[in-house]
Structure 1
Amino acid sequence: MRFLPKLFLLLLASSLPALGFSLRVLPWDEQVAERKLSIVHGSTVEDIGYLHPGARSKAIKIPADAVGLRLDVNDRKGADGKPLPVKLRVPAGLKTALLLILPDEKSKAGVRGLIIEDDVSSFQWGTIRLINVTPKPVVFRWDKKAKTIAPGWKPVSISPGGKSRNLEVFLYLKDDLKKPLYSSIWEHRSNMRQLVFMVPSSNTALGPVEFKIVPELRIEEEAP
Structure 2
Amino acid sequence: MFIIQLFQSGRSAVEIFIYLLAILGAIMVAIMCHEVAHGYVALLNGDPTAKMAGRLNFNPAKHFDPIGFLMMLFVGFGWAKPVPVDYRNFKNVKKGVLTVSLAGVGANFVIAFLCYLLGFLTYKIFGNTESSELWSRIILLFYLFFYYSVSINLSLIAFNILPLYPLDGFRVLSALAPRSKVTEFLLKYGNYILIGLVVFGTLVPSLDVLGIYVGFVSGLIEKLFSLIFGGWTF
TM-score where L is the length of structure 1: 0.27
Instruction: State the TM-score, normalized to the length of structure 2.
Output: 0.26
The structure that is strand-richer by fraction is: 1
Larger radius of gyration: 1
Larger RCO: Structure 1 or Structure 2 (Cα < 8 Å, ≥ 6 residues apart)? 2
Where is the helix percentage greater, Structure 1 or Structure 2? 2
